[in-house]
């Protein structure tokens, strides 16, 4: 019977994505035969459910081909894991619930759809996916650190959270911390204010097994936070803990970052994620369509994939826009509807230039172009300049160095300006409204 199960695994492996096989079926092993039923063993309850729900029919079909019409099987949880793992699950606050947002030990919730199963693998992200899965599965004991690099909207957060989901499900006793670098900085500042810095240090240095730290470029200029984080990372790496960083910039390109932290960020694998090609974009849309229960014709999917080429978020925006308009207006989804929905999305970046953004900002704040690109540090000039740099990064494809030159600034200053506005949007309602107003004008073509 064990030979039959091995044959089934080989057959199923040929029909499903390799990463899905490695994650869910490769760990399932033959256990025994009981009353003519083949009993298989999964490492935990989550794996058992995934294997049964997603691949149960495939397994049964192959079993009947090999052993005849009466072939039957069941998947149990490994008795060893049941004895050693169940108690740990009961004591742990991390519950491996596949259909709910999961709360790690500390930090932000993991989105329920940000799992490896929901990630579409293509040539643009295959290495990043493989490296993330390897770290999550703990197959390479020497791989403790991974730095995910890409522009916004390419899937860094998805992969980072997928690692968290996988570890929580496979190793429920592990303590996973998922947060942004800004969260870490704010928590440290609060710890100093409340005289609880020792508790803060102990939490990250002694109570953390896997650290998922997003947007590390936001640490630019935060010297005290950088020192504390570098010491924390040293402690975690010395203890053989796993760490994933994510950023829009290479460690060496982040301004005002101390050498120790640059070294820590570069310690492991640095993997970039590029924009998806047409075939991958089609598969992303098909995946989103199926997971959300949408019914969209193939020609519409192909049209969206050919027009929306910037990033995954833009693809999702187009698909949601098409289905939402169809539902609200009670009209079928067709090419004409898709063209109406995506024409502004596809055209806005082609029409928006840095010069247009400069003129729009100058007009709104009633300052001259000369003032905007000057070295003036007056708040009446510096804030509009920071907003213009932020909008240039968001609405054009120009690299940071080019944006900096357009404002007579170094790329480090441009990055600092972007960070100031990103943080200000979260805390300053007035600034948020200003940026939203500019965004509306740019996206509507009203400039």
C-alpha to C-alpha distance for 185 and 293, rounded to whole angstroms: 40
Q: Is there a single domain that holds both residue 366 and residue 405? A: yes
pLDDT score, position 232: 95
Say which CATH number the domain at 424 has: 1.10.1750.10
Residue 323 lies inside a defined structural domain of this protein:
yes
Q: Is there a single domain that holds both residue 260 and residue 128? A: yes
Residue/partner pairs of 337-340 with CB below 8 Å, 24 or more apart: 338/300, 338/303, 338/304, 339/303
pLDDT score, position 396: 83
C-alpha to C-alpha distance for 322 and 251, rounded to whole angstroms: 39
Residue 97 lies inside a defined structural domain of this protein:
no
Strands (E), 80-144: 106-107
Q: Is there a single domain that holds both residue 256 and residue 112? A: yes
Strands (E), 172-329: 176-180, 210-214, 242-247, 269-272
Q: Which helix (H) or strand (E) holds 42?
A: strand 37-42
Q: Is there a single domain that holds both residue 152 and residue 228? A: yes
Residue 208 lies inside a defined structural domain of this protein:
yes
C-alpha to C-alpha distance for 100 and 111, rounded to whole angstroms: 8
Question: 296, 320, 350 — which closes off a domain?
Answer: 350
Residue 333 lies inside a defined structural domain of this protein:
yes
Q: Is there a single domain that holds both residue 377 and residue 232? A: no
Q: Is there a single domain that holds both residue 398 and residue 298? A: no
In the block, which residue shows the tokens 């960070």? 419
Say which CATH number the domain at 250 has: 3.40.50.300
Classify residue 79 as exposed, middle or buried by CB count within 10 Å of its CB (0-12, 13-18, 19+). Answer: exposed
Q: Is there a single domain that holds both residue 226 and residue 237? A: yes
Residue 93 lies inside a defined structural domain of this protein:
no
Residue 260 lies inside a defined structural domain of this protein:
yes
Residue 95 lies inside a defined structural domain of this protein:
no
Q: Is there a single domain that holds both residue 261 and residue 119? A: yes
Residue 88 lies inside a defined structural domain of this protein:
no
Question: 350, 365, 385 — which closes off a domain?
Answer: 350
Domains in the chain, number: 4
The answer to whether the pTM exceeds 0.75 is no
Q: Is there a single domain that holds both residue 147 and residue 262? A: yes
Give the single-character DSSP code of 410: -
Task: Chunk the chain into consecutive blocks of 10 residues (it has 447) and report each block's average pLDDT, rounded to whole numbers.
Answer: 84 78 84 86 79 84 78 79 41 40 70 90 92 84 87 91 92 92 92 94 93 92 93 94 93 89 92 92 91 87 88 87 85 88 66 88 93 92 95 84 90 88 85 87 73
For residues 407 and 373, the answer to whether their CB atoms sit within 8 Å is: yes
Classify residue 92 as exposed, middle or buried by CB count within 10 Å of its CB (0-12, 13-18, 19+). Answer: middle
For residues 226 and 219, the answer to whether their CB atoms sit within 8 Å is: yes
Q: Is there a single domain that holds both residue 216 and residue 256? A: yes
Q: Is there a single domain that holds both residue 265 and residue 290? A: no
Identify the domain containing residue 295 by its residue range: 278-350
Parallel, antiparallel, or unpaired for β 269-272 and 145-149? parallel
Q: Is there a single domain that holds both residue 437 and residue 370? A: yes
């Amino acid at each position: 019977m064990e030979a039959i199960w091995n044959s089934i695994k080989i057959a199923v492996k040929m029909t499903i994505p390799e990463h899905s096989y490695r994650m869910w079926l490769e760990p399932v092993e033959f256990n025994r035969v009981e009353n003519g039923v083949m009993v298989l063993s999964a490492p935990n309850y989550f794996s058992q459910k995934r294997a049964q729900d997603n691949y149960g029919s495939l397994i049964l079909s192959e079993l009947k081909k090999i052993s005849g019409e009466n072939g039957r099987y069941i998947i149990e949880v490994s008795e060893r894991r049941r004895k050693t793992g169940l108690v740990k699950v009961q004591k742990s606050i991390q519950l491996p619930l596949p259909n709910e947002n999961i709360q790690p030990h500390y930090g932000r919730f993991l989105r329920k759809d940000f799992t490896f199963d929901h990630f579409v693998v293509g040539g643009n992200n295959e290495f990043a996916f493989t490296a993330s899965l390897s770290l999550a599965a703990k197959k390479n004991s020497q791989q403790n650190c991974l730095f995910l690099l890409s522009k916004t909207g390419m899937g860094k957060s998805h992969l980072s959270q997928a690692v968290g989901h996988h570890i929580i499900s496979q190793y429920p006793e592990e303590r996973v911390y998922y947060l942004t670098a800004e969260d870490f900085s704010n928590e440290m500042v609060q710890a100093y204010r409340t005289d609880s810095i020792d508790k803060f240090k102990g939490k990250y240095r002694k109570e953390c097994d896997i650290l998922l730290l997003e947007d590390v470029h936001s640490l630019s200029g935060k010297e005290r936070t950088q020192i504390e984080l570098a010491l924390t990372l040293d402690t975690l790496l010395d203890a053989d803990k796993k760490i994933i960083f994510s950023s829009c910039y290479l460690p060496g390109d982040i301004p005002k970052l101390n050498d120790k932290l640059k070294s820590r960020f570069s310690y492991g694998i640095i993997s970039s994620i590029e924009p998806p090609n047409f075939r991958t974009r089609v598969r992303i849309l098909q995946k989103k369509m199926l997971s959300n229960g949408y019914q969209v014709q193939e020609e519409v999917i192909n049209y969206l994939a050919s027009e929306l080429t910037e990033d995954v978020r833009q693809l999702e925006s187009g698909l949601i826009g098409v289905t939402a308009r169809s539902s609200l207006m009670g009209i079928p989804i067709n090419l004409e509807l898709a063209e109406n929905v995506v024409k502004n999305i596809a055209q806005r970046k082609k029409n928006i230039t840095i010069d247009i953004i400069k003129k729009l900002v100058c007009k709104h704040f009633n300052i001259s172009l000369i003032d905007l690109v000057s070295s003036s540090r007056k708040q009446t000039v510096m804030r509009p300049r920071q907003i213009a740099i932020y909008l240039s990064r968001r609405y054009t494809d120009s690299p940071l160095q080019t944006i900096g030159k357009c404002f007579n600034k170094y790329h480090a200053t441009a990055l600092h300006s972007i960070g100031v506005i990103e943080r200000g949007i979260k805390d300053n309602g007035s600034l948020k409204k200003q940026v939203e107003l500019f965004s509306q004008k740019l996206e509507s073509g009203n400039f």
